[in-house]
Chains A and B, each alone.
Chain A
Amino acid sequence: MGNFNFSIDLPVRSEWANVDLLRTSVQNCFTAIFSDIEGCHSLAMVTGELIENAIKYGDWTASDEQRFRLRVWGEGRSAHISVENPVRSSDTNAEEVMKTLGWMRSFPSAIEAYRAKLLEIAAADRDPGNSKLGLVRIAYEGNCLLSAALDRGVLRVQAELTV
């Protein structure tokens, strides 16, 4: 992919069908602009995994407007994908996201963290549910740097990819 500047900022209804609609929209949009099909697939995968987490673990009980915020933007050779969703104050998911990011940083590389997560899932008796495999996949397969912040009941998870 060459240098680019763009920005997409969308309030999205928290409905599962929107995961694939947005994932494929990002993929199609970038494929129309850039020739690197694999890079576009990677951006789309990252978008899909972040949105899945927002819908699964966001707090959609309190708000009348059940929407999360998706931002995709690029500057120079960096692409950023950010998803923001409300979280309940008593919910431990945001803390688990932070812990997972710290756990990933304890490995020398993303592939080693990913392999460790696969083995952890295999060692669980049954479907571990909230395994955070998606986040580890983003770092490994998407080759992204991940960050997260919790501010006034909103969790923002952001992926940055140098292209």
Chain B
Amino acid sequence: MQGLTVGDLRIEALDAPPAVQLLWKGKSNERHPGEALAPYFREVLAAAGTRNLPVELHFEKLEHFNSSTITSIIQLIQDSRARSIKLVLVYDQALKWQKLSFDALRVFAKDELLELRSA
């Protein structure tokens, strides 16, 4: 699984069973982050689906993301659920902005296909 670099954002992919892990670093501040993230997420879900692995997104090292990035993450949540692929979002609860952002995303955690976990 390849990583992705978009502007100030770097996503490192770790093919580390029992999960495909994506480590987010830097800042996601592009005007249209979805243009790069959406096709990348499709590849990730295809790879994880083929191997029947969950996908873990790690945001602990992320400095900032804009609201357009949140929209892309919501779409990933929807797409992974549609494909019955478990998605785990891992964040740093000690960072207030991450706690607020990811606590709100718990509105989508209605079954075992989405887990939000504080590191």
Residues of A whose CB lies within 8 Å of any CB of B are 16, 19-20, 23, 38, 41-42, 44-45, 48-49, 52, 55-56, 111, 114-115, 118-119, 121-122, 126-128, 131, 133-134, 137, 140-141
Contacts and interface: CB of A to CB of B under 8 A. Distances in A.
Contacts of A133: 67-68, 70-71
Given A52-B66, A134-B67, A119 B29 contact: no
A118 B67 contact: no
Interface of chain B: mostly helix, strand, loop or mixed: helix
29 contacts: A19-B29, A19-B66, A20-B8, A41-B64, A42-B96, A42-B97, A44-B64, A48-B64, A49-B67, A56-B31, A114-B104, A115-B107, A118-B70, A118-B107, A118-B108, A121-B71, A122-B75, A122-B78, A126-B75, A127-B71, A127-B75, A128-B71, A131-B71, A133-B68, A134-B66, A137-B70, A140-B100, A141-B100, A141-B101
B69 to A, nearest CB: 10
B66 A48 contact: yes
A42 B101 CA distance: 12
Contacts of A121: 71, 74
Nearest to B65: A45
B19 interface: no
Contacts of A56: 31
Contacts of A126: 75
Contacts of A119: 107
A121 B70 CA distance: 10
A45 B104 contact: no
B105 interface: yes
A41 B107 contact: no
Contacts of B25: none
Contact of A137 (B34, B38, B67, B95): B67
Contacts of A52: 31, 66-68
B114 to A, nearest CB: 11
B77 interface: yes
A133 B95 CA distance: 21
B100 A118 contact: no
Contacts of B68: 52, 133
Nearest to A111: B104
A115 B104 contact: yes
Nearest to A16: B31
Contacts of B97: 38, 41-42, 45, 141
